Amino acid sequence: MIKVTIWNEFLHEKQHEEVKAVYPDGIHAALAAGLATEDFEIATATLEEPEHGLSEERLNNTDVLIWWGHMGHEKVEDAIVDRVQQRVLNGMGLIVLHSGHFSKIFKKLMGTGCDLKWREANEKERIWVVNPAHPIASGLPEYINLEREEMYGEHFDIPAPDELIFVSWFEGGEVFRSGCTFSRGQGKIFYFRPGHETFPTYYNPQILQVISNGIRWAEPSRAATPVRGNHQPLEPIAAKS
């Protein structure tokens, strides 16, 4: 079983009727239902819970954390961001969705501004698979069409990704690196672009397939924790005069 925690700030769905109509129980609940499978043990956590639902115990019981945030980025306490970062460095997988590009945790792990172009114009997005050998692309067609999405355009201010899996084209002409992987410490990070709160993107079976593939890819490797610092020799070192 892979232990998955889906974190959603869960503010738009409570404050905006337009969003509530699409995700009545929250984006986290829609993702939990859409990702439900025998080998995922899924929990959810939200901003307004104590410790944002991300206690030490919860994070220690998480193999892969999914992050959706937007209007509440600044409300996430720095101590919790540090705690999530430490877990990633120790091997927890992290999947950052859509507007999570501006979350404290993503910016901290990237070390760059993470800004981009954007436009809300109900336009078409075509997500091209540019790395079909990658496990996150498993089972997908050559591209995924979303009839209505928000546009994100280059330049996306991130470090060069370890791997680029998806590139989006938008009706208005822009392109965007929509699926990028990174590693930090022992942890694997996958950024995946689509998922504006007013569109039903997280009910799309192909989008759910990508996130599900991402969970399997980001699962901790369970390699031994590297040892650092002053170290005794493994073999005797011959005395030298």
3-state helix, strand, coil split of the chain in percent (to 5) is 30, 30, 40
CB of 150 to Zn ion, least distance (A): 4
Answer yes or no whether residue 9 interacts with Zn ion by CB under 5 A. no
Name the residue nearer to Zn ion (CB basis): 3 or 193.
Answer: 193
- Least distance between Zn ion and beta carbon 148 (Å): 12
Q: Is residue 209 within the footprint of Zn ion (CB under 5 A)?
A: no
- What is the dihedral angle through the alpha carbons of 150, 180, 161, 133, rounded to the nearest 10 degrees? -140
Is 94 strand, coil or helix? Answer: strand
Report in angstroms how near the CB of residue 68 gets to Zn ion at its nearest: 10
Q: Return the number of the residue (69 or 220) whose C-beta is nearest Zn ion.
A: 69
Report if residue 87 touches Zn ion, rule: CB under 5 A. Answer: no
**Alpha-carbon distance 99 to 110, whole Å?**
15
Interface with Zn ion, residue 125, by CB under 5 A: no
At a CB cut-off of 8 Å and minimum separation 6, what does 35 contact? 4, 6, 42, 208, 211, 212, 215
How buried is 232 (Cβ within 10 angstroms: 0-12 exposed, 13-18 middle, 19+ buried)?
exposed
In 86-207, DSSP assigns E strands to: 93-97, 117-129, 143-153, 163-170, 175-184, 187-192
Residues numbered 13 to 72 that lie near Zn ion (CB under 5 A) are none
Q: Is 99 in the site for Zn ion (CB under 5 A)?
A: yes
Q: How far is the CB of 99 from Zn ion (least distance, A)?
A: 5
Residue number, 3 or 98, with CB nearest to Zn ion = 98
Residue 12 binds Zn ion (CB under 5 A): no
By beta-carbon proximity to Zn ion, the closer residue of 59 and 97 is 97
User: How many residues in the shown chain lie near Zn ion by CB under 5 A?
Assistant: 3
Whose Cβ is closer to Zn ion: residue 150's or residue 174's? 150
Which among 89, 103, 150, 90 has a CA at the least distance from the CA of 7? 103
Which of residues 63 and 150 has its CB atom nearest to Zn ion in the complex?
150
Residues in 138-197 at the binding interface with Zn ion, rule: CB under 5 A: 150, 196
DSSP string covering 128-149? EES-TTSGGGTT--SEEEEEEE
Question: Which residue's Cβ lies closest to Zn ion?
Answer: 196
Closest contact distance (angstroms) between CB of 70 and Zn ion is 6
State the residues that interact with Zn ion by CB under 5 A: 99, 150, 196
